[in-house]
Structures are given as C-alpha cells and as structure tokens.
C-alpha cells in the first residue's frame, strides 16, 4: 500500500514538473542605444527588438518599462530617464506561434527643452512570456537595456569678453568714471570752501 501511494505521488510530481517548465524565449538585441543627433524628433529614435518563441506551444508576450533596479545595476555615466512615459513600445502584446518571432518597436517622444540636452539615460524594457493555455507556472523575464543619448547642446557658452566696452566690464568702467567725477567735484568745492 505504501509503495503504491509513493508511486502515485512520484508520478504526479513528475507530470507536474514536466508541465510546469519555464517558458523559453530569446530577445535580441540585449542592449539598444538610441542616439538623438540633431533634434528631439521621434523619427530618428525608432529601433526594433525581436522576440522569439523557443517553445512548441503558442505564447503571449507582454512588456513593461522600468528603471534599473537596484540602481547599482545601471551602467557608468548613465542616469534614470526623467519621465519613463517618453518611451513607447508597440505592439502592447503579441501572441507568438511555436518557434516564431515578432518585432517590437521602441520609439521616444521627448520634449525639446535645453535642460534635456547632453543627457545619457538608461532604462529597461522587460519582456514577459505567458502560456496561452496556462500549462506553465514558471515565468522568466527578459530585460533589454535601452541607452538614450539626447542631442548635444550646440549653443556656444558665453566666453568672457576681452573688449573693455562690453557687458559688465563696461558698466563697471562707467561707474568708476562717475565716482571719480563726483570725487573731483566734491574735492574742488572743499578746497574753495577752505580758501575763503
């Protein structure tokens, strides 16, 4: 009796383990760099990520955006993007047949502001496969690192002027002449008053 119960238990455990294997997908590329060279226009920010179903069953692939967590995982010289909603991924989900692939498009819609220039951000697009028939209890997620480099600030920095008659230096020079003129007038009045 004990042997029969043990065999039944082991058979159920084995069948559960076989049906509960993790869904396997591949995501390429693992890292994407979007460099905005001229402006914040969304046309120059579109790139694709391909997700492949490595299983013999159909799966549903969804995604979500996240900041690298913990923050120590972020690459050197990178920061979080100010607003994660500036990143768009489409389609929102996709059903993949066995061994099929599908592209997901990534694009940016960043407002054109001077303080957003010369930024180097990192964010992650994480893809999650789901079994269509519910036969898998295990989920593995696959993150793609997205590096975003915003346009460089092309406005020249104001260099100090060597011309004496420009900007603050000119104002100080005029102020010094006014003070000197007032000092001379007051000195002359004081001398005339003392000679009387």
pLDDT at 64 over 90: yes
Give me the sheet containing 101-108, strands edge to edge. 25-28, 47-53, 101-108, 87-90
pLDDT at 52 over 80: yes
pLDDT at 177 over 70: yes
More confident residue, 196 or 45: 45
CA distances to 48, 172, 176 from 162, rounded to whole Å, are 51, 14, 18
Kindly report the average pLDDT of the chain as a whole number.
80
What's the pLDDT score for residue 14?
47
More confident residue, 12 or 90: 90
CA distance 62 to 27: 12
Q: Label residue 179 left, alpha or beta by phi (over 0 means left) and psi (-120 to 50 means alpha).
A: alpha
pTM higher than the cut 0.85: no
Q: Which segment of 2-6, 75-79, 147-151 scores lowest on mean pLDDT?
A: 2-6
Residue 138 near residue 24 (C-beta atoms within 8 A): no
* Domains along the chain with CATH numbers: 23-149 (2.60.40.10)
What's the pLDDT score for residue 131?
85
Q: Where does the pLDDT of residue 127 fall: very low under 50, low under 70, confident under 90, or very high at 90 and above?
A: very high
Q: Is the dihedral of CA 28, 33, 37, 42 positive or negative?
A: positive
Look at residues 99, 124, 104 and name the one whose alpha carbon lies nearest to residue 62: 104
CA distances to 12, 27, 50, 98, 103 from 89, rounded to whole Å, are 41, 14, 12, 23, 10
What's the pLDDT score for residue 46?
81
Q: Where does the pLDDT of residue 80 fall: very low under 50, low under 70, confident under 90, or very high at 90 and above?
A: very high
pLDDT at 139 over 50: yes
Q: Taking residues 103-116, what's their average pLDDT?
A: 91
More confident residue, 52 or 179: 52
């Amino acid at each position: 009796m004990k042997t029969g119960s043990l065999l039944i238990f082991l058979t159920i455990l084995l069948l559960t383990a076989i049906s509960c294997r993790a869904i396997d997908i591949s995501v390429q590329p693992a890292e994407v760099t979007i460099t905005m060279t001229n402006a914040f226009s969304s046309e120059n920010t579109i790139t694709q990520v391909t997700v492949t179903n490595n299983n013999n069953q159909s799966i549903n692939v969804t995604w979500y955006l996240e900041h690298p967590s913990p923050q120590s995982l972020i690459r050197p010289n990178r920061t979080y993007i100010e607003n994660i909603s500036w990143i768009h991924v489409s389609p929102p989900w996709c059903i993949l047949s066995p061994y099929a692939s599908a592209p997901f498009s990534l694009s940016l819609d960043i407002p054109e502001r001077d303080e957003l220039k010369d930024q180097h951000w990192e964010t992650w697009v994480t893809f999650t496969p789901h079994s269509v028939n519910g036969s898998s209890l295990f989920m593995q997620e696959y993150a793609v690192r997205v590096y975003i480099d915003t346009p460089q600030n092309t406005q020249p920095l104001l260099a100090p002027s060597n011309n004496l008659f420009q900007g603050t230096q000119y104002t100080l020079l005029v102020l010094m002449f006014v003070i000197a003129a007032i000092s001379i007038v007051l000195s002359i009045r004081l001398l005339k008053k003392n000679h009387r």
